[in-house]
Chains A and B, each alone.
Chain A
Amino acid sequence: MTDIVKLIFDLLIFPGGLFAVVFGLFLMGIDRKIAARLQRRVGPPVYQPFIDLVKLTRKEIVVPETAHLQAFRLAPLLGFVGMMAAVTLIPIAGVYQGFEHLGDLLVLLYLLSLPAIALMIGGSASSSPFGAIGFSREMVMMMSYELPLLIVLVTVAMKVGLATGGIATFSLSEIVQFQLENGALLFDYTMLPALLAFLVFIPGNMGVVPFDIPEAETEIVEGPILEYSGTGLALFKLMTSLKMVVVLGLAIALFFPTPLGENFLINLLWFFLKCLVLMVISITVVRTSTGRIRMDQAFKFYLKYPTVLALISLVLTLLQG
């Protein structure tokens, strides 16, 4: 019984649900503020994403006449729920254990592709030509960034697995545990290329400016989410902010989970700080300092640099082990 209560608490309040939503929206707000400061303007307040959500819930919902209704309505829900589940898998060292199951890294990998799939379903169900273009671009984008991500995950799993006497460990909590005992992987020179590859993967997955090709605002007017209004759009916004938490949290769990002492609150703040630094490096600065690139360029870029970097790490790990 208590297990079920704990599960519900996990899903709805602490690492998932309420906490993750607030956390993600705050990160988004800070991202917008810093981006504004980098462009020498004042920018919106940090709580702007909350306001946007409140406003969106008060708007009328317009559905295109030719849309496939069920798919159109369910797509944002699918992405949102998937991300909500993914958040509970992310361990926060010193605060939250994560799910202690054997293959949660693989489950996370699948869940991480859900937002892109939700966007694809939404875009194609909306029956708008822009949505269709966005859908096809989203698909190519996903194929290009998924490969380096997979190699990075396998590399980390093998690194930990080989060091503990097995072959590969696909359990996030074990990976975190290993790093707590033997020092973070960040300080291991063989893992640096993998870390770099992951840093490059983040903007692609988040769809921020150099890689915002699927929702190119000025060109195909936000692609897949073009036809959404009101609550549907709000769910997509929530999904994006949760995805940010998941991706940043995953990076921290994989490379630098070290907590600061025993205190619960301090550890949580430390986690927030790490997320913030990671976000500024890999999202905010990137998105304010670049322009959009073409689809084929992004595809080639992802197959060239992050994949090769991740492979270098993998080979080094294998040579060591």
Chain B
Amino acid sequence: MKKLLQKIAKKSPWLYRINAGSCNGCDVELATTACIPRYDVERLGCKYCGSPKHADIVLITGPLTARVKEKVLRLYDEIPDPKVTVAIGVCPISGGVFRDSYAITGPIDKFIPVDVNVPGCPPRPQAIIDGIVEAIKIWETRL
């Protein structure tokens, strides 16, 4: 029974986007390219939702600047379990072009468990969708 529910439930991952101080390049790729009709993520059952309380898969962009750190952690706590984190761009991995800046507290996986990394500056929409598919696979095991 649990297996069956798992199998059904994995087809409905809802996405939520956190901007942890990105330069907006990744956000443009993510929100306006990967989610427009052309690259239709809805066929995977995904839905972009505005509220963190509805989310299953969290997409984080940006290097986690000192200013937004507290807020991002709080937002992350508000997302109900089970959840999967996807880090988009090279910024969350290493800081990217902002590396060694005094304003950066990242990389993100110091504070938040990251499950999938989608590198690129910014990554291609296809890569982002691939990352989401990867995340769905991980999410299934947690349900």
Residues of A within 8 A of B (CB): 32, 36, 39-45, 48, 50-52, 54-55, 58-62, 217-218, 221-222, 225-230, 233
Contacts and interface: CB of A to CB of B under 8 A. Distances in A.
Contacts of A62: 53, 78-80
A42 B40 contact: yes
B112 interface: no
Nearest to A126: B53
Given A58-B143, A228-B53, A229-B54, A48 B12 contact: yes
A43 B41 CA distance: 8
B81 interface: yes
B83 to A, nearest CB: 9
B43 A54 contact: no
Contacts of A61: 80
Given A43-B42, A44-B45, A51 B53 contact: no
A226 B37 contact: no
A217 B50 contact: yes
Contacts of A230: 80
B40 A43 contact: yes
A211 B6 CA distance: 35
Interface of B: 5, 8-12, 37-38, 40, 42-45, 49-51, 53-54, 56, 78-82, 143
A255 B36 CA distance: 38
Contacts of A52: 12, 45
Contacts of B56: 55, 59
B43 A41 contact: yes
List the 10 shortest-distance A-B pairs measured between CB atoms, nearest first.
A221-B50, A41-B40, A60-B80, A55-B9, A229-B53, A42-B43, A39-B37, A55-B12, A51-B12, A41-B37
B37 A59 contact: no
Nearest to B53: A229
Given A36-B42, A41-B43, A51 B78 contact: no
B73 to A, nearest CB: 15
Contacts of A55: 8-12, 56, 143
Q: Tell me if A's interface is mostly helix, strand, loop or mixed.
A: loop
B53 A226 contact: yes
Nearest to B6: A58
A222 B49 contact: yes
A251 B112 CA distance: 51
Given A42-B40, A59-B82, 10 more contacts: A39-B37, A43-B40, A43-B42, A50-B8, A55-B9, A55-B10, A60-B80, A60-B82, A226-B53, A228-B53
Nearest to A219: B50
A222 B11 CA distance: 22
Contact of A229 (B10, B44, B80): B80
Contacts of B49: 217, 222
A221 B78 CA distance: 15
A13 to B, nearest CB: 23
11 contacts: A41-B42, A51-B12, A54-B9, A54-B12, A55-B8, A59-B56, A59-B80, A222-B49, A226-B51, A228-B54, A233-B54
A60 B80 CA distance: 5
Contacts of A218: 50
A205 B28 CA distance: 33
A58 B143 CA distance: 7
Contacts of A222: 49-51, 54
A116 B47 CA distance: 24
A55 B56 CA distance: 10
A50 B4 CA distance: 14
Contacts of B54: 222, 228-229, 233
A58 B10 CA distance: 11
Contacts of B50: 217-218, 221-222, 226
